[in-house]
Structure 1
Amino acid sequence: MKNSKKVILILILCVIIAVVPLMMIKDSEFGGADGQAEEVIAELNPDYEPWFDPIIELPGGETESLLFALQAAIGAGVIGLGFGYFIGRKKYKQA
């Protein structure tokens, strides 16, 4: 088996290991700033109705945390790739 196939298989396995347990937990109590903001809005203006409803209803707060962490990791990867590209380009241009 080639290295690229091994890497892809390991990445898929990592995603399965991270996602399956979070999807199985239905009533989690962990919440973020969105839930707290919703409570404050309900206290200040009980008649407030949101403009939009969520497209997908996630099973719990852990799933939202996973998606937020995944978004942060992808963003950090893109920024790191950009810095690496520009530093490498500058380094080899001077040589």
Structure 2
Amino acid sequence: MKNFILLLFVILLAIVPLFLLQGAEFDGADGQAEEAIAEIAPDYEPWFSSFWQPPSGEIESLLFSLQAAIGAIIIGYVMGFSSARKKYSTKE
């Protein structure tokens, strides 16, 4: 029951802002930082530029999702491994 309540809470946290802030733009932090820098120092030039730009926004989203999935798999493996190690270790 506790897991169900936590899952419901997470779902509400994700959905409620969409209804409360209808019409709001959910921009990323990178874009907001770029705008703030342009306001503060209009003649600022970045130190470096990307060596590869994804051909489209869909591929950029795909790579971001793939990175998140790989991270989740690694975290899940480590947590599962440590949980199993505690469960099956013999205490002598």
| Unmatched runs of 5 consecutive residues or more in structure 1 | 1-30
Q: Name segments (4+ residues, structure 1) moved above 3 Å.
A: none
| Unmatched runs of 5 consecutive residues or more in structure 2 | 1-26
Q: CA deviation at 1:93?
A: 1.5
Pairing 1:63-74 to 2, within 5 Å after superposition: 63-74=59-70
Q: Using CA pairs under 8 Å that are at least 6 residues apart, name the structure with larger relative contact order, 1 or 2.
A: 1
Name the structure 2 match of 1:36: 32
CA distance, structure 1, for counterparts of residue 87 and residue 81 of structure 2: 10
Name the structure 2 match of 1:56: 52
Cα separation, partners in 2 of 1:63 and 1:32, compared to 1, 3 Å: farther
Residue 87, structure 1, aligned to residue 83, structure 2: yes
TM-score, normalised relative to structure 2 = 0.57
Name the structure 2 match of 1:8: none
Cα separation, partners in 2 of 1:67 and 1:50, compared to 1, 3 Å: same
TM-score, normalised relative to structure 1 = 0.56
Q: CA deviation at 1:71?
A: 1.4
Matched residue count? 65
Q: CA deviation at 1:39?
A: 2.2
1:36 is paired with a residue whose SS is: helix
CA distance, structure 1, for counterparts of residue 28 and residue 85 of structure 2: 40
